[in-house]
Amino acid sequence: MTERWTGKHVWIVGASSGIGRALAVELAGQEAVLALSARRPDALETLNTQLGGGHRVVPLDVADGAAVRAAAQGLAAAWPRVDAVVFMAAVYRPGGLLAQSDADVGAAVAVNLGGALHLARAAIPLLRAQDGGGQLVLTASVAGYRGMPASQPYSATKAALIALAESLRIEHAGQGVDVRVINPGFVRTPLTDQNTFAMPGIIDAERAARIIARDLARPGFEVAFPRGFVLGMKALRALPGFLYRPLARAALRGASKTA
């Protein structure tokens, strides 16, 4: 599996913490050449130093479309090719729509969805133009499988990302762009550290990164984990609405009683 990433040029957007940071460590350990992007240059520099200092630090706000395009053009000029572009940036605040501020809702839309749209617009022409194409990887969530109560901004943007990835894969099939979607369950990160409820099947970010590195090296579309939790969520997705909605309401009532 090391051969899959040795010498490959991978741009990770959202590399400063969580799964993105763990993936950077994993791929660097497999001898990939990385570009590390996020809004916090100090965190990126610290990570680059930890990885030996041989990678590119590209501070970036994914909500700024012009900045994303400029970063993509800079990498295209600096690197011989771009083998994979991985969108890991995310904003999450616990609670439902009415419990969140305008700023919280706006950030979820601007980063989780808007950032992915900006990155796809910048990356797809780049990948199509180079010999052999490359991967565009969007990180959504199992929270996007169905309408999740008490988590509307996050769930809605992740559902949109799943639809975006699937539609782009269909549209650009055969044009050198291998579009993938990552749908994690609960992963221990600074985002999930905000939760006060039980998180079934939670895994650490390092394990998540190993799964992602392995599965992106295989044919397919969706990378989803942990397996047992994903299967349960997919079973819920398969339920007709008249069965799912009462179950979701009951789960919400149970959670509110234990909170």
Q: Where are the beta strands (DSSP E) in the chain?
A: 9-13, 33-37, 56-57, 84-87, 134-139, 177-184, 187-188, 203-204, 222-225
176: left (phi over 0), alpha (psi -120 to 50) or beta: left
DSSP 136: E
Question: What's the rounded Cα separation, in Å, for the pair 176 and 133?
Answer: 4
Q: How far apart are the first and last CA of the chain?
A: 43
Catalytic position from the list 92, 145, 154, 244: 154
CA gyration radius, the chain? 18
Amino acid letter at 46? T
The angle formed by the CA atoms of residues 218, 34 and 8, to the nearest 5 degrees, is 45
Q: Active-site residue 244, yes or no?
A: no
Active site residues: 154
